[in-house]
Amino acid sequence: DGGITQSPKYLFRKEGQNVTLSCEQNLNHDAMYWYRQDPGQGLRLIYYSQIVNDFQKGDIAEGYSVSREKKESFPLTVTSAQKNPTAFYLCATMGQGTGNQPQHFGDGTRLSIL
Amino acid sequence: SQKIEQNSEALNIQEGKTATLTCNYTNYSPAYLQWYRQDPGRGPVFLLLIRENEKEKRKERLKVTFDTTLKQSLFHITASQPADSATYLCALDRFSTGANNLFFGTGTRLTVIP
């Protein structure tokens, strides 16, 4: 069954702790994205990657880090430097070609502070 | 920087009526605009894409218009049903800035009352 798998569904972080959110896809898409969604706000882009071993900062990259060692995987680490990490985190992919491709989303990870 | 405004945070309509959602943008001229549906606790799902040279796009009970002069897109759901209740997000591309990603609005929460 093709799609995007985000895990865990719920995650709790202690003060000063780094946590990593997983995003795996089997759609064979090159581009992958991480968004943060807060109540009453739209999706804000954290990081994105257009190809393996390459990634770019989005609009709110501070306090986050990513890696793209495999095409299928794009993990997001929320570091202790992110002072307000409580949010709904969404991973997305996009297929080949620019300009007219929809994005496909996972079902998110909800991160809370203990 | 780009800015997107979606007409209202929440919209309530009676079943069977047409729902009209508005997406206005400033400081940018996107090549295309997309609409997504998001259910609570889930990732957004792509609905429709419209290009700058297209005035209107239809898919079943959905219709999207794109007015590049007014910098506005309208999203219509005809013969609305309670199952249409969800948050609807518009997104525009940022490819002309060299960035292969989307910029999302804050969304409109639609409730269809039986």
pLDDT recorded at residue A5 = 97
> What is the pLDDT at residue A100?
74
pLDDT in tens, A12-46: 988 889 999 999 999 999 999 999 999 878 899 99
- What are the backbone dihedrals phi and psi of residue B96, each rounded to the nearest 5 degrees, phi first? -70, -15
- Using a CB–CB cutoff of 8 Å, tell me whether A53 touches chain B: no
pLDDT digits (tens, 9 = 90+) for B61-93: 999 999 999 999 999 999 999 999 999 999 998
pLDDT at A1 over 70: no
B:72-91 residues touching chain A, CB 8 A cutoff: 89, 91
A4 pLDDT above the threshold of 90: yes
More confident site: A61 or B31: A61
CB count in 10 Å sphere of residue B81: 12
Contact B105 A48 (CB under 8 A): no
Query: Which is nearest to B44 in space by CA: B112, B111, B105?
Result: B105
Contact A42 B42 (CB under 8 A): no
Beta strands per DSSP E along chain A? 4-7, 10-13, 19-25, 31-37, 43-51, 54-57, 64-66, 76-78, 87-94, 103-105, 109-113
% of residues, chain A, pLDDT over 90: 79
For testing contact with chain B, the best of A43, A49, A60 (most B CBs within 10 A): A43
Does residue B96 have a pLDDT over 80?
A: no
Q: Which of A21, A20, A42, A45 shows the shortest CA–CA distance to A31? A: A45
Nearest-neighbour CA in chain A from B33: distance (Å): 9
Question: Is the pLDDT score of A99 beyond 70?
Answer: no
- Of A48, A106, A107, which has the smallest distance from its Cβ to B101's Cβ? A48
B61's tokens: 């009970």
Q: How far is B87 from chain A (nearest CA, A)?
A: 10
Report chain A residues whose CB lies below 8 A from the CB of B91: 43, 103
Residues of chain A neighbouring B100 (CB-CB closer than 8 A): 31, 48, 50, 94, 98
Average per-residue pLDDT in chain B?
Answer: 92
pLDDT of residue A38: 94
Residue B2 has pLDDT above 80, yes or no: no
Q: Using one digit for the tens of pLDDT, what is the confidence trace for B16-63?
A: 999 999 999 988 888 889 999 999 999 999 999 999 899 899 999 999
CA distance A22 to chain B (A): 15
pLDDT higher than 90, residue A69: yes
pLDDT of residue B105: 93
What is the rounded CA–CA span in Å between residue A35 and residue A20?
14
| Burial of A6: CB neighbours in 10 Å, binned 0-12, 13-18, 19+ | buried
Share of chain B above pLDDT 70, in %: 97
Q: Are A76 and A82 in contact (CB under 8 A)?
A: no
* A50 has a chain B CB within 8 A of its CB: yes
Contact B18, B85 (CB under 8 A): no
Q: Tell me how crowded residue A105 is: count the other CB atoms within 10 A of its CB.
A: 23
The pLDDT assigned to B48 comes to 96
Residue A98 pLDDT more than 60? no
**Which of B102, B103, B109 is the mutation pick for testing A, counting most A CBs within 10 A?**
B102
Q: Pick B95's closest partner by Cβ from A41, A98, A108.
A: A98
